[in-house]
């Protein structure tokens, strides 16, 4: 079991589509799985050459407890020093923390990335 939110390369998507088209047992097996969205694609990728280029999660989730808590200010130092592109989980009262992430983290990461690009040229 794994995450259900990920980014795939064009070649990986082509591989998955071809594999599903030619090997009907995948659809047959996963039709009755309990959480197919968390295992179908990962099984295909895990049994292919694309496993070697798989990266870690793109989404920050605090799994220190059994259920992820709502993201709050205490998560900022943790998120700040990572390369996550997304975070989970927010609720209707998360406007304040989302504003902090937008202004302090997204802006800072964007500036660092832009500076790095400029330094390379």
**What is the per-residue pLDDT for 21?**
95
Q: CB under 8 Å, gap of 24 or more: what pairs does 84-87 form?
A: 84/57, 84/58, 84/59, 84/60, 85/58, 85/59, 86/5, 86/58, 86/59, 86/60, 87/59, 87/60, 87/61
Q: What average pLDDT does the segment 31-38 reach?
A: 86
Tokens representing residue 99 in the block: 């504003």
Query: Do the strands 59-61 and 86-88 form a parallel or antiparallel pair, or are they unpaired?
Result: parallel
**What is the per-residue pLDDT for 117?**
39
Which of 66-80, 91-105, 107-121 is the least confident region?
107-121
């Amino acid at each position: 079991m794994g995450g259900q939110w990920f980014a795939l390369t064009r070649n990986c998507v082509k591989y998955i589509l071809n594999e599903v088209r030619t090997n009907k047992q995948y659809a047959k097996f996963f039709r009755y799985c309990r959480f197919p969205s968390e295992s179908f694609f990962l099984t295909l990728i895990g049994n292919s050459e694309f496993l070697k280029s798989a990266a870690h999660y793109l989404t920050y989730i605090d799994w220190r407890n059994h259920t992820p808590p709502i993201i709050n200010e205490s998560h900022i130092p943790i998120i700040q020093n990572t390369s996550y592109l997304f975070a989970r989980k927010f609720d209707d009262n998360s406007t304040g923390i989302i504003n902090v992430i937008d202004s302090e983290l997204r802006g800072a990461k964007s500036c660092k990335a832009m500076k790095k690009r400029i330094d390379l040229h």
